[in-house]
Structure 1
Amino acid sequence: MKNLFKQTLAIAVIAMSFSCSEEFLDNTGVAGESQPTASFTSADAEQATLTNTNIPAAFVNGIYAQMIQAGSGGTDLNHDDFGQKGYDIYGDMLCGDMALSVSTYGWYRADITEFQAPQDFTRGRNRMVWRYYYRIVRSANNVIASLGGNDAVPEIDENKYAMGQAKALRAHSYFYLTQYFQKEYVPNEAILPLHIEPDTENKPKSTAEEVYNQMEADLTDAISLLDGFNRASKNQVDQNVARMIYAYVLGAKGGRWQDVADLTNDVITTTNHTMLQPAQVTVVPADGTSNTFNDVNFTNNWMWGIDITENNGLGLVSWWGQVDAFSYSYAWAGDYKAIDANLYAAIPANDARKGQFLNDPANGRHLQPLLKFAASGTIGGDSEVVTADYVYMRIEEAYLLNAEANARIPNEAAARISLKALLDLRVPSSAYVDTLTGQALIDEIYLQTRIELWGEGKSYLAMKRNKATVTRGSNHLSFVGQPIPYNDERMQFEIPQDEIQNNPFLSNQNQ
């Protein structure tokens, strides 16, 4: 499978090299002359070449490659700039579930854990988030345009599947933009420029309703277009991944919980993915050994993930380089990432997931995820080259989101069934769930989501869906004991300075 991804990545790079301007791959610009988002959309793709049915698929694989690309946020080179998983860390830290418990090198401390970026639009992390997601949008727009445009339905299956993936990826990026740049869904609030064509025109902000409507249209199309798609590897979005993205979008919007329940139920009942068994919840670090959380193909619960190879050129500047102590990493050398002490305390002693974290208060690595994430058998790693894989989505998410949606309808009986299906694989008895009703049931589902998906980039999304307030535990370096609500100014990024300066529609608008 690793060789397959290497081959498709090579095809994607070749395809992009003859079809796009240099600007397509280089968003860094010149200091003081950064270009606005609108100019990131290449209008000069050589679309005549796309009559070859293999080329659209290669273009889509190029988008997947950008999702793991160091520097894709426009820096040269911040060690927290490495694609989707980099912004998963941002979310986990902003919401407080991931603590920076030791900071020697300073990554994440000021801008993220001390909230300096969300309070200052001149800070570079705002620009990184903005540029990365709009870069994916621009690439998806090129693919969609090459296949006939937003309203087209390609006749050839390969082209239909390429179109479906591109639309799902565009919606996925707009979803994260809405989450990171709007406090909560307010339909008539102008939030983001909406680009759905490969043009170079600056645009004003569209309203949240307009952006969400576009995401829904894209994902409805994607689910239809991907019908019958048997993907070559898990790095590709298939129909059920598109359904899950749609469920997340509707969950963030709120109000349509029956649709969320239906989408996630479709995933649960049609997928061949199965949840982790109790013995798979913790890993035994071993050199050269695949495990639950470092190999996309080791277990059947990964719905979507990237099979990382040496050819991808990842090392210290990667998710593993920032989070995993068993890699050549900051998490080994002095920037420790740990589960929030309050969240750890909320995990029952008989819960298998408690064992994912080092419980040794006298050890500086206390509460690091040493038995959840492990790329090798050696603290500090046995190689500077990352080949451990990236997880984007697990089947457990479908059960948890289904439980949450049903609890909110409310269809509490169905909510308990989905929640207990997961808990029966984590604790000796899930019978206590039968006593939970109303807000207590919703709160328990939220807690289980935070525990199950810790470190995987989903806690921030759950915090916003649940309109939660999180109080940082004792192992954070700042704001210890402070309750921070989901809609606090410090929870959202600002539209970056260079975007405002270069887009006349934004230059006279308030943040």
Structure 2
Amino acid sequence: MKMNNRYFVALLGSAMLLTTSCSDLDTNPSGSTMSDGQLNEVLAQDQSKLKSEVSGMYANMIECEAITQWYGSARHYDFGYASTMMMMDASGQDEPSQVSGYNWYNKPLRFVDRTANSETTYFIWNQCYKNIKAANDVLKSVDLENLSDVAKSYVGQAYAMRAFEYFTLIQLYQFSYKGHEDAAGVPIVTEKTAEAEANNPRAAVKDVYKQIMDDLNTAIDYLTDSRSAKSEINRQVAYGLRARVNLVMQNWSDAAADAQKAAEGYTPLSKDAAAAPGFNDVSASNWIWGNIVDESNDIVQSGILNFPSMMCSFTGNGYSPTYACRMINSKLWKEIPSTDVRKGWWIDENLNSPIVNPKYVVHQEDEDEDGNVVKYLAVYNQTGDEVADITEPYTNVKFGAYKNQYGNELNACDIPLMRVEEMILIQAEATAMGGNVEEGKRILENFVRTYRDPSYTCNATTAEGVQDAVWFQRRVELWGEGFSFTDLLRLKKPLDRTGANYEVSVRFNLPAESPIFLYLIPEDEENHNEALVGNNNPVVAVPKAQ
């Protein structure tokens, strides 16, 4: 059995100290090398220089080793927002993985990271507020009454990015909007917040959502549909973000309308295209927004501190699949009809999938240290070298290696942040929940029949039934893209890992809105913000496996 150790020997010692970070809300974006005073003066003189500051926001989303200085060593999950996506999915019920030291997401998987001194909560908090400050730096440095068209675009992107980051925070540090409007959320810091006021308390959930909606409304006013690359936020991306927020707030008609606007001009992945590993190229017709990852980016040059290293089962250089694979919940997989092309996004009990190219995978057998026969799927690269082993049934083969080359050692895959399929599913759910059940069903059936399963029928007769049908489709379609855990919170569903392929120690069955679901505000933040002392989320015992 091939264990790709040579890369780990070389790369575990190659961590780069690239950036600095601090523990309060006044975190500097990696795209800026100027002090606030210098920045304001330059931007006041030349609004075109806003571009470099806005580019810094997107650079933050794929930053490598943002918390190395704080922690004292490299954490191999430290590669930007894609890692936050993985932390959220690990916390849910749809993505089993090994409970081992090689699994950098074993802490959210086990719910042992819901403490104030958790490195996970520090990573998420630092990432979000760092970009909030980046957006604030742009907004406080311009005269909103005297903007060129180009400057309006940059300002709109800053408003939308700030909304995106606050939306990420509020979903993880407090329960969903409905029923928790007055609960403590997260501190709000804007471009108008004076330095003396930055140490402010947790704003109510309703106030955080108001800030998010105000920012998105303003962003949509400033933005147009044009942009230079899909990594940038344009008006359609802002509509998509607002559709997500409206869905959480249960503003059904607005959610459906925004989703429809976001989807205009984009086409879902065809059945034929879905019958192969992919989801790695922002140029695809179904991607509305994504992180563009260049071969020269630090997360790529790091070798294994990146999304493909952790998620792609065909990379020639990573933790996945040999050391820490990502699987689908076996109960969920068994509910996917055989006529649905997406069933092949994961290998079956016999390690087979119709979407895998047999030229690069071979069934093998070996003996473990106890003499037991171990069956595995050997993965080969373009030159015939064995680079990885897939040993676990239900391992994902959804995400292809860079350039869709099996065994590619270069992990420069783009990161999906918003796809048209998500918008269609939002439109279906929101339409049904808004009172038009039949139209919601029609939208759902049309999408699934046309692009995924020609035999599909939605048998629901109520709005809630359609909502559950959409939830199932979201669990399958958006698997591995960071939505599964927040969907549980939004829909107030229990978390049930029993009867599936989760390891015994993490086989939890927890009621909806269990306190352990919420992250705690980082201890470092409490130390820098007196207004937060005594108002953190409660410390809850780690759940017991069932």
Q: TM-score if structure 1 supplies the norm length?
A: 0.85
Whether 2:163 is the aligned partner of 1:138: answer no
For structure 2, the 5+ residue unaligned runs are 1-17, 30-34, 351-374, 377-390, 538-546
Whether 2:64 is the aligned partner of 1:61: answer no
Could you report, residue by residue, the CA deviation over 1:204-224 in whole angstroms, capped at 9, with x for unpaired residues? 111111111111110001111
Give 3-state SS (helix, strand or coil) of 2:510's partner.
strand
Of 368-377 and 388-397, more deviation after overlay is shown by: 368-377
Whether 2:212 is the aligned partner of 1:223: answer no
How far apart, in 2, do the equivalents of 1:479 and 1:345 lie? 23
> Following superposition of structure 1 onto structure 2, how do residues 351-362 of structure 1 map, counting pairs within 5 Å?
351-361=340-350
Whether 2:320 is the aligned partner of 1:320: answer no
Shift of 1:486: 4.3
Could you report, residue by residue, the CA deviation over 1:396-446 in whole angstroms, capped at 9, with x for unpaired residues? 11100111111211211221122123201111223x226543322211111
> In the alignment, which of 287, 306, 309 is matched to residue 302 of structure 1?
287
Could you report, residue by residue, the CA deviation over 1:444-464 in whole angstroms, capped at 9, with x for unpaired residues? 111001101111112223222
Could you report, residue by residue, the CA deviation over 1:107-156 in whole angstroms, capped at 9, with x for unpaired residues? 211x21110112x22221111111110001000000111123xxx25531
Shift of 1:36: 2.2
Check the 8 A contact 2:328/2:396 in 1, yes or no: yes
Shift of 1:93: 1.2
Partner residue, 2:469? 444
How far apart, in 2, do the equivalents of 1:39 and 1:448 lie? 38
How far apart, in 2, do the equivalents of 1:509 and 1:339 lie? 37
Give 3-state SS (helix, strand or coil) of 1:175's partner.
helix
Equivalent pairs counted in the alignment come to 462
Whether 2:111 is the aligned partner of 1:85: answer no
Q: Residues 338 and 326 from structure 1, CA distance in 2 versus in 1: closer, same or farther, beyond 3 angstroms?
A: same
Give 3-state SS (helix, strand or coil) of 1:87's partner.
helix
How far apart, in 2, do the equivalents of 1:478 and 1:140 lie? 44
Give 3-state SS (helix, strand or coil) of 2:418's partner.
strand
Check the 8 A contact 2:336/2:343 in 1, yes or no: yes
**Which amino acid in 1 is paired with 2:331?**
N
Shift of 1:63: 0.6
* Structure (1 or 2) with the greater helix fraction: 1
How far apart, in 2, do the equivalents of 1:452 and 1:159 lie? 37
Partner residue, 1:11? none
Shift of 1:106: 3.7
How far apart, in 2, do the equivalents of 1:447 and 1:507 lie? 40
Check the 8 A contact 2:312/2:399 in 1, yes or no: no
Shift of 1:393: 0.7
Counting aligned pairs with the same residue, the percent is: 27
Shift of 1:510: 4.3
How far apart, in 2, do the equivalents of 1:484 and 1:45 lie? 51
How far apart, in 1, do the equivalents of 2:330 and 2:512 lie? 19
Could you report, residue by residue, the CA deviation over 1:460-503 in whole angstroms, capped at 9, with x for unpaired residues? 23222221123115322245553234411222211011111221
> In the alignment, which of 161, 164, 170 is matched to residue 156 of structure 2?
164
Whether 2:391 is the aligned partner of 1:405: answer no
How far apart, in 2, do the equivalents of 1:153 and 1:172 lie? 24
> Following superposition of structure 1 onto structure 2, how do residues 44-443 of structure 1 map, counting pairs within 5 Å?
44-50=37-43, 51-73=45-67, 75=71, 76-101=73-98, 103=100, 105-109=102-106, 111-118=107-114, 120-148=115-143, 152-185=144-177, 186-197=180-191, 199-200=194-195, 201-227=198-224, 229-254=225-250, 256-268=251-263, 271-283=264-276, 292-297=278-283, 299-313=284-298, 314=300, 315-327=303-315, 328-361=317-350, 363=376, 364-375=391-402, 381-383=407-409, 385-424=410-449, 425-430=451-456, 432-433=457-458, 436-443=461-468
Partner residue, 2:9? none
How far apart, in 2, do the equivalents of 1:235 and 1:188 lie? 35
Check the 8 A contact 2:402/2:413 in 1, yes or no: yes
How far apart, in 1, do the equivalents of 2:398 and 2:262 lie? 29
**Which amino acid in 2 is paired with 1:63?**
M
Give 3-state SS (helix, strand or coil) of 1:393's partner.
strand
How far apart, in 1, do the equivalents of 2:329 and 2:398 lie? 16
Give 3-state SS (helix, strand or coil) of 1:97's partner.
coil
How far apart, in 2, do the equivalents of 1:486 and 1:68 lie? 32
How far apart, in 1, do the equivalents of 2:486 and 2:527 lie? 30
Give 3-state SS (helix, strand or coil) of 2:62's partner.
coil
How far apart, in 2, do the equivalents of 1:135 and 1:372 lie? 29
Q: Residues 72 and 478 from structure 1, CA distance in 2 versus in 1: closer, same or farther, beyond 3 angstroms?
A: farther
Partner residue, 1:9? none
Whether 2:509 is the aligned partner of 1:483: answer yes
Give 3-state SS (helix, strand or coil) of 2:501's partner.
coil
**Which amino acid in 2 is paired with 1:323?**
M
Q: Residues 90 and 278 from structure 1, CA distance in 2 versus in 1: closer, same or farther, beyond 3 angstroms?
A: same
How far apart, in 2, do the equivalents of 1:72 and 1:478 lie? 33
Q: Residues 56 and 451 from structure 1, CA distance in 2 versus in 1: closer, same or farther, beyond 3 angstroms?
A: same
How far apart, in 1, do the equivalents of 2:444 and 2:252 lie? 16
Check the 8 A contact 2:262/2:423 in 1, yes or no: yes
How far apart, in 1, do the equivalents of 2:475 and 2:518 lie? 19
Q: Residues 223 and 377 from structure 1, CA distance in 2 versus in 1: closer, same or farther, beyond 3 angstroms?
A: closer
Give 3-state SS (helix, strand or coil) of 1:143's partner.
helix
> In the alignment, which of 526, 536, 540 is matched to residue 500 of structure 1?
526
How far apart, in 1, do the equivalents of 2:460 and 2:216 lie? 37
Partner residue, 1:21? none
**Which amino acid in 1 is paired with 2:168?**
Y
How far apart, in 1, do the equivalents of 2:41 and 2:118 lie? 41
- Aligned-CA RMSD value: 2.2
Give 3-state SS (helix, strand or coil) of 1:333's partner.
coil
Give 3-state SS (helix, strand or coil) of 2:128's partner.
helix
For structure 1, the 5+ residue unaligned runs are 1-23, 30-34, 285-291
Shift of 1:196: 0.3
How far apart, in 1, do the equivalents of 2:146 and 2:77 lie? 38
Give 3-state SS (helix, strand or coil) of 1:392's partner.
strand
How far apart, in 2, do the equivalents of 1:411 and 1:355 lie? 33
